[in-house]
Structure 1
Amino acid sequence: MTRNAPPIAIESVGENPTPIWGLSNRERTRRIAAASGLATDGNGGGNGETRVIVHDAFAWDPAWLRHVAANPGLVLTMGRIPALAHVRSEAEAEAVRTSIRGDKPLAAGDMTVLAYENGPTIENKQLRKRETPFLMALFPDTVRRIERASYFGAYKGVTDILTKYLWPEWALMITRICARFGVTPNMVTAVGAVLCILATYLFAQGEYWAGMAVGLGFMVLDTVDGKLARCTITSSWWGNVFDHGIDLIHPPFWWWFWATGLVHWGLGLTPEIFESVMIAIIGGYVLQRVIEGIFMRRNHEMHIHVWRRFDSWFRLITARRNPNMVILFVSMLSGRPDFGIVGVAWWTVISCAVHAVRLLQAEIVRGRDGRLTSWLSEG
């Protein structure tokens, strides 16, 4: 789309009574289209001929709509039946409608056909990753598979070890329940915020096991709110600020009050050690975030953790909240929560040093090659 062109219109063809994530398929399509900047009232496309036609019998990842909308004349098919098609004329539109309504192969003319069965890949621009997003026929017996594909399609390609391996299934179950009962992402974030504050209080009182249990609930909900927003297409500016603001601000408070709570165990740190630990943890936390921000700014918004395979692996264990909680959990198994917070301080310093070295290496490579390429986009 050019800067001054009217938005491309979206047109759904067919009827499908099967809901997904508590929404009709047509409503889901409308929300995805609106989020993608397409006209949802049928008035886009200038003369009314340039539009994206969507087959209501299929459910698909939002990435497919963005890809098809960006490529006039492209049609994505399954079993030779159009699922999404960017038509350029009324003749192409009618050919697509006829194929959909008659459930027969498309007479494509000079349209470019992308057959899903051939495993086509498109680029996830945020993660610099090539992938084949899901496309499935939507029936009552495929809803759970589609919701699962939609949910995991909304998962970050690179994240920490707990989010990746421990609770995806729990979060999927809670996300489904929330969608069914109309619970909004901001409601989930609000509940999580209460748990976050409660965990902070419990850490300050030295009630570490209770604090970690409450904190676990918060960490799971911290996954649920974002996935619920993406799956139900209800992301908002305020929701992002609310969610990411809590994520950004709360970790230093957890570590600070964990350290002060040690007095209840008779393990309080000396003033000198407390000061050193907090400088290492809080200073390292801020510096690591700054390094990540500089890397993104210098490399076209590419995250530092998707540059090389090592970076993606290191993201699993780098000194963020969840890996730090693993360190604290292990220290509690030995009955020495003081060792845990000192361990977090050391791991933060090490992680910060690794990030600083990677930023320097990236500058060297960028100066030599002109631009960095994510390993996820290779091959």
Structure 2
Amino acid sequence: MVPDPSTLPTVVPVGDNPTPIWGMSVAERLRRIVAARGLRNGEAGGGAVLLANLTFVFDPSWLPHLLARPGTILTRDGVPVLAHVAAADADRIAAAMRADQPVAPGGLAVIAAEDEAGIFNEALRKRERPFAERLTPASVPAIERASYVGAYKGVTDLLTKYLWPEWALWLTRRCARAGISPNQVTAIGSLLCIVATVAFWYGWFWSGLAIGLVFMVLDTVDGKLARCTITSSALGNAWDHGVDLVHPPFWWWAWATGCAAYGRPLSHDAFVAVIAAMLFGYVAQRLIEGAFIARFGMHIHVWERFDSRFRLVTARRNPNMVILFAGLLIGRPDWGIIAVAAWTMLSLVVHLVRLVQAMAAKARGRRIVSWLA
């Protein structure tokens, strides 16, 4: 149920800060965060307010956490960063923010941002430690890195986790400072995705892999950029996820077809078996993931530690590309696509077994929760 905006506190910025972050001022960043939540941003009235100290920047996940807790102050080193308080307490809290001094709680609850316990994210069903840091020119790189890392809250594959985080961070920063929008990054990536598909089809595998690598990095950048600059949109989300969902089977089909042009053709029966296995496995695995979400309210990849580790290598696009790369290194792209088909079916079996195990555990009365909680 969406709360009535009239019952929510007005968000009131306190102070000023000339230091930009992600190519925008702190005040503009706060405005975007507030607008994304459908809140009012302005001067304090006669009701509850949520004061925001512009000396600091905070992870957007702090906002809903404070909104659900009237009479609560978020502090950093004792200084108020955010405060959801009644009008009667607003002046003294705002004065402490302007003076950059700790404030006496006076009956209010206090959450210290540096507390190791962190907070529980209800939407993601996991415990996390969102940042709230003092913004100065010297602290910008570290805060942008924390913002970037915090922009993806789930589990992911080994390439996204280990290979290109630094590349994507560098590109995200450059795009933010140049005013390039997430949708523009998605548009460039979509074009590269099509070009890679054509390259695979004609057996130009090394060129296709290089172009595909750039696309895969940009596929990380557009989402990170949207979250870091608070510019997520329904169109961008649908476009990005639509491309992610649709293109992998076309890549596999093109690769299998391109093996003939490369000089390593698949037999007719092998080609049909590979494509059938990959299409069936891809769709069935997605359906299992959706069934797990519908049944248990969370992704299958965050149920137990095994599931998060298996997500690193499960038969999604990026791990599959590692297999194809390995096959191409030894001059056997045909073996690569056959290996991907086999890995797809094996991953499907693992996901199916995990779904059945979760259902059986719930039937025995066990509560299915994320190990990250």
Asked whether the two chains share a fold, i.e. TM above 0.5, the reply is yes
Which residue in the other structure is 2:36 paired with? 35
Q: Partner of 1:21 in structure 2?
A: 22
The CA RMSD over aligned residues, in Å, is: 1.4
Q: Residue 228 and residue 242 in structure 1: after superposition, are their counterparts in 2 closer, same or farther (change >3 A)?
A: same
Helix, strand or coil for the counterpart of 1:369?
coil
Q: How many Å apart are 1:126 and its aligned residue?
A: 3.6
Structure 2 length-normalised TM? 0.97
Amino acid of the structure 1 residue aligned with 2:229: T
The residue number in structure 1 matching 2:340 is: 344
Letter in structure 1 aligned against 2:27: R
CA contact (8 A) 2:113 2:131 kept: no
Contact 2:5 2:39 in 1 (8 A): no
Match of 1:359 in 2: 355
| Rounded Cα–Cα distance in structure 2 between residues aligned with 1:107 and 1:98 | 12
**Equivalent position SS for 1:335:** coil
* The one of 283, 292, 310 aligned to 2:306: 310
The equivalent position to 2:155 in structure 1, one of 146, 153, 158, is 158
Counterpart for residue 111 of structure 1: 108
Alignment of 1:16-95 (within 5 A): 16-42=17-43, 48-88=46-86, 90-95=87-92
8 Å contact kept, 1:299–1:371: no
| Matched residue type, 2:223 | G
Unpaired runs of 5+ residues, structure 2, are none
Q: Distance in 1 between matches of 2:100 and 2:254?
A: 63
TM-superposed CA distance for 1:370, in Å, is 5.3
Q: Give, as a single letter, the amino acid of the residue that structure 2 aligns with 1:52.
A: L
SS in 1 for 2:19: coil
Aligned-partner SS, 1:118: coil
Q: How far off is 1:69 after superposition?
A: 1.2
Report the Cα distance in structure 1 between the residues aligned to 2:71 and 2:220, rounded to whole angstroms.
38
Match of 1:248 in 2: 245
Q: In the alignment, what sits opposite 2:9?
A: 8
**Tell me, what secondary structure is at the counterpart of 1:75?**
strand
Alignment of 1:199-278 (within 5 A): 199-278=196-275
Deviations 1:191-237 (A, max 9, x none): 00010000000000100000000000000000000000000000000
CA gap 1:143/1:247 in 2 versus in 1, 3 angstroms: same
Deviations 1:345-375 (A, max 9, x none): 0000000000000000010111222531111
Structure 2 CA distance for aligned equivalents of residues 5 and 141 of structure 1: 37
SS in 1 for 2:364: helix
Contact 1:49 1:93 in 2 (8 A): no
Match of 1:122 among 115, 119, 124: 119
Q: CA deviation at 1:166?
A: 0.1
After TM superposition, give the deviation of residue 266 of structure 1 in Å: 2.4
Q: What's the CA shift for 1:5?
A: 5.7
TM (norm. structure 1) is 0.95
User: Which residue identity is paired with 1:16?
Assistant: N
Alpha-carbon contact 2:11-2:50 (below 8 Å) kept: yes
User: In 1, Cα distance between the equivalents of 2:283 and 2:234?
Assistant: 24
1:327 aligns with 2:323: yes
